[in-house]
Amino acid sequence: MLSVWEGSLVKLILVRHGQTLWNREKRVQGVSDIALSNRGSAQASSLARSLRGEKINTIISSPLKRAVQTAEAINRFHHLPIEPEKDLMELNMGDFEGMALQEMMKNHGDFLKRWAEDPASVVMPGGESLSELQKRAWGVVERIAVKSGTTLLAAHNFTLMTILCKIKEMDLSHIRQVHVDVASKTLVEFKNGRGNVVFFNDIDHLSGCEEVID
């Protein structure tokens, strides 16, 4: 898969940010810079505690607030510089940014049907396609995979899904099979250029967070 991984063990911990109010309201979030909600902050803290014993060498985050805040919560146990990486930002949803899902289904049903049928190449009006997102996000993975160790990536749903499709050698048409929940963690180990998903979309640490009121 990647020659730079040959002969060494590389671990990637893929983390999705905690909940925002737009997540709860089922609004299209994309590149809008929305902070964590109260519940999202509690989720990030629980996620951080679940990772406190992990030896992490590098933390890289999307520059969007919700990802940075999640990375900062995790970093309270690791004291590393958090490296911002714009190519880990969420899919640019263009004209749909901030729109409620219900409104999209009512007024843009034909577009959503085309996207469901061909998620890889359909471009968001005024935004980008999943293929474009995958290209920039995978470039981050290639850039950080030059040395052994454990890197934590704090990012977003579609961003992480496109990375996982690449790792699992899946076509983007099957992207819905690798959906990740808010404040989830996924561990991938690479050895001799091949990726192995050790655990996927782990949210066991979030027990009790649903009681936090936004």
- Is 179 among the catalytic positions? no
8 Å CB contact between 43 and 19? yes
The DSSP line for 159-208 is HHHHHHHHHTT--GGGGGGG---TT-EEEEEEETTEEEEEEEEE-GGGTT
Active-site residue (options: 85, 90, 156, 205): 90
Residue of 110, 63, 105, 117 whose CA lies nearest to 86: 63
What is the rounded distance in angstroms from the CA atom of residue 188 to the CA atom of residue 179? 15
29, two tokens: 């979030």
Nearest Cα neighbor of 104 from 112, 92, 113 is 112
φ, ψ (nearest 5 deg) of residue 204: -60, -30
In the residue annotation, 142 being an active-site residue is answered as no
Given 17, 78, 156, 205, which residue is catalytic?
17
Q: Which residues are known to be catalytic?
A: 17, 90
